[in-house]
Amino acid sequence: MADDTDTTYQRLSFKKNEVILKEGELSDVAYLILDGKVAVRKGDHGPNPVVLATLDKGHVIGELALFDGSPHIASVIALEDTTVSAVPG
């Protein structure tokens, strides 16, 4: 049975243009978008990053790194003020 005082799910806020996840970094947290909009971008380390997707409320980001332990394959940038819930792996 889960403990009602469990605080493992943390609510975080990101301002427009703030980086939520960085391509190439390791993480043990995924994020559920509660409000706002983000861009998933590949190639942020180079001169021409490519937007792979635009995601909003209800989408999960960063979950692949939880399954295989590999670094993030893309960066995630807030396109507007965005609130997420951190879901530990």
If you average pLDDT over every residue of the chain, what do you get? 89
Give tens-digit pLDDT for 27-55: 889 999 999 999 999 998 888 999 999 99
Q: Which pLDDT band, with edges at 50, 70 and 90, does 3 fall under?
A: very low
Q: pTM for the whole thing?
A: 0.85
Indicate whether 23 pLDDT > 80.
yes
Indicate whether 5 pLDDT > 50.
no
CA dihedral 84, 58, 67, 71 (to 10 degrees): -50
CATH code 2.60.120.10 for 10-88: yes
Q: Which pLDDT band, with edges at 50, 70 and 90, does 13 fall under?
A: very high
Indicate whether 68 pLDDT > 90.
no
